[in-house]
Amino acid sequence: MRTTRGKPTYERIVLGDSKIGEAMAEALALEEQVDRYAHRFHTYPAGLHPDAARDLLQLFEGERVLDPFCGGGTVPVEVRAAGRIALGQDLSTIALRVARARTASPDEAFLTRLRSRARKLTAIAREAREDPPEQVYQGVHEWYAPHALWELESIRQGISESEEDLKPLLKALFSSILIKVSWRRSDTSGGRERHHRPAGTTAILFHKKTRELARHLAAYRDAIPEGTPEAKLRIGDARHLRLEDPVQLILTSPPYPGTYDYLPLQHLRRIWFMEDRHDEAHEIGSRRSWRAGGKQARRDWAGASAEWTTSAAAALEPGGHLVVVIGDGLTPAGPIDSSQVTEQAARVAGLENVARASLERPDHARGTSRWEHVFAFRKPLS
Ligand SMILES: C[S@@+](CC[C@H](N)C(=O)[O-])C[C@H]1O[C@@H](n2cnc3c(N)ncnc32)[C@H](O)[C@@H]1O
């Protein structure tokens, strides 16, 4: 086993432009925990490593940078920090709420109002004794101790009565504690683990999270070069990008095939926010699609990959780059190599290969190894 800077690696393949390929391999190998900006304020499955996003961005020019699978917003956060124009899209409303909160750079007066509102909501929640409305209660009560349920409902209610401009950040904060105070094992596991936490801890956690987020956003605001525009993030399918102007760079990490069910994983949060689930059918490469049948799932995923890559290519300026971080799949039907489908999708979209870096990593939990790749493609000048 060899070690690049960072994660332990068995094998490493670099193809194409060796300078870019080697630098991409280094970025992909990073694994140290980062506490910069609001990167850690809200868990999000399969988030890109913030330093990898930062280093990959530095390798490619271009002012307008898009991430069509922006998830919790790692790429847009780093794009703004670099003084560039951040654009993002994702199918998940939960992801967008997190990404918008992480890319915000409010002034001090706003943050003071945010802290003060959260303090008030916390004090009220500590005395709360009211269950959520029936439609929420039915879906969530099995996952929480009664006092956690009362405190959460009080905060939810308090947010709905807060000033309009504070609501997005308050909702993101609420979202950030929903799994932590539940009996669900983690964001990516539906397992149940009952534990005892004293009454009041849910409300206190909300307050603590608010103070932390305010501190991180203040540091972020001060780090962003003057004149950098706000991030433009929207809900939507990556196969149908609708941009007003072309972009010079797309840096993204689409779902690894058969690895997660991104939208259903958020089901507790979606019930608390009273959202419907009509969008789940549009999720690309979901784990559940492989459960229904390997061959069809592979065909659908390959087709969807070609579609989003074609849409991305159309959004690029000639000479612009598409950089894709993707891992091989761990599907119920066995492992899936992502590299062939990704390269085929780029060919279909009329993009040229620039470089590729692939790292083989040990997967101790399954006693095997797994490849992760980063590809750089370019849109031809004519
Ligand atoms: C690997 S995650 C991205 C993580 C992100 N880079 C981050 O750091 O948080 C893949 C994302 O693709 C989104 N997704 C799945 N199907 C989609 C589609 N058809 N259009 C847009 N986004 C989709 C999921 O909601 C998920 O957030």
Instruction: State residue 368's pLDDT score.
Output: 85
Answer yes or no: is pLDDT of 135 > 60. yes
CB 111 within 8 A of CB 105: no
The predicted model scores a pTM of 0.96
168-203 pLDDT per residue, tens:
999 999 999 999 999 999 888 888 888 888 999 999
Q: For a pocket test of ligand 1, which of 175, 262, 266, 278 has the largest count of ligand atoms closer than 8 A to its C-beta?
A: 262
79-95 pLDDT per residue, tens:
999 999 999 999 999 99
71 lines ligand 1 (CB under 6 A): yes
Confidence of residue 242 (pLDDT cuts 50, 70, 90): confident
Q: For a pocket test of ligand 1, which of 30, 34, 41, 91 has the largest count of ligand atoms closer than 8 A to its C-beta?
A: 91
- CA 368, distance to chain mean position in Å, is 26
88 lines ligand 1 (CB under 6 A): no
Instruction: Give percent of the chain with pLDDT exceeding 90.
Output: 86
Q: What CATH number does the domain located at 2-105+225-265+280-378 have?
A: 3.40.50.150
Atom of ligand 1 nearest to the CA of 284: 16
Using alpha carbons, select from 193, 231, 298, 205 the residue that is nearest to residue 80: 231
Using alpha carbons, select from 67, 68, 76 the residue that is nearest to residue 307: 68
| Alpha-carbon span 63 to 79, nearest angstrom | 9
| Alpha-carbon span 34 to 78, nearest angstrom | 13
Q: How far is the CA of 369 from the centre of ligand 1 (A)?
A: 24
10-69 pLDDT per residue, tens:
799 999 999 999 999 999 999 889 999 999 999 999 999 999 999 999 999 999 999 999
Q: Where are the domains of the chain?
A: 2-105+225-265+280-378, 108-223
Instruction: Give percent of the chain with pLDDT exceeding 70.
Output: 98
Q: How far is the CA of 254 from the centre of ligand 1 (A)?
A: 6
| Alpha-carbon span 320 to 351, nearest angstrom | 10
Using alpha carbons, select from 54, 55, 19, 28 the residue that is nearest to residue 359: 28
308-350 pLDDT per residue, tens:
999 999 999 999 999 999 999 988 888 899 999 999 999 999 9
